[in-house]
Each structure stands twice: as structure tokens, then as C-alpha cells.
Amino acid sequence: MDELRRSLEGIKQDVKLIQNDLNICAKSADLNMLTKYLSFWEPLNFMTEEGVKQIVKEIIQNRKI
């Protein structure tokens, strides 16, 4: 009977650890929201600082001509 109680206590502790881990994990709704914002922002289309500088230089040179 004592061994059964110890086993049950061990299982209870394991379940509590799993619950704590699940509370830390991202929820499906959170991941969906991130996916939505990433597709909206399209980070692959962001420009680098060097790219912007090059475009500005080209615009300035075209206006001088």
C-alpha cells in the first residue's frame, strides 16, 4: 500500500510538472496571431540600410541630371 501511495505521489508531481510546462508554452491562438502579423509585415521585403542609401543616391543623381 505504501508503494502504491509513493507511486501515486510521483504521478501527481509529474502531472504538475507537465501542467506547468504547458502553461509556459505558446497557445495555438498566439502562434496564429504571430503568423498573421508576419505575413502582414512581410519581413523578407524589408530593406537594409545600404539598400536605402543606394536608392537615395540614385534619386539624388537623377534629380541633378
User: Model confidence over 35-49: pLDDT tens digits?
Assistant: 998 888 887 788 889
Its pTM stands at 0.46
Q: 4-46: per-residue pLDDT in tens?
A: 999 999 999 999 999 999 989 888 999 999 999 888 888 778 8
Torsion angle in degrees (nearest 10) through CA of 9, 10, 16, 21:
180
Q: How many domains does the chain have?
A: 1
7 is in which domain, residue-wise?
2-64
